Amino acid sequence: MKNLEIYKLLDCPILIGTSRKSFINAVHSTKKDAKNRIGGSIASVLVALSNGADLIRVHDVAETVEAVRIFEAIRSAK
């Protein structure tokens, strides 16, 4: 996700689907099952959007929408 801007050169939408993925456990000291990875899932979505993702695929829609709305409000309040 760090280098999404490279894919923007292809001039096509970028879809990211990191929701509940096992890589989220890599940063946790206690391993969580997929349903309990919402914090990491939301964090990865916000990073993806910050780095140019156009579309996101998630399991926890309501929670992610709330986080993205807050994120966008903060980002646009410069």
Cα distance between residue 40 and residue 29, in whole Å: 13
Distances (CA, A) of 66 to 32, 45, 71: 22, 12, 9
Q: Which residues are catalytic?
A: 21, 57
Token pair 């929701």: residue: 19
**Rg for the chain (alpha carbons), in Å?**
13
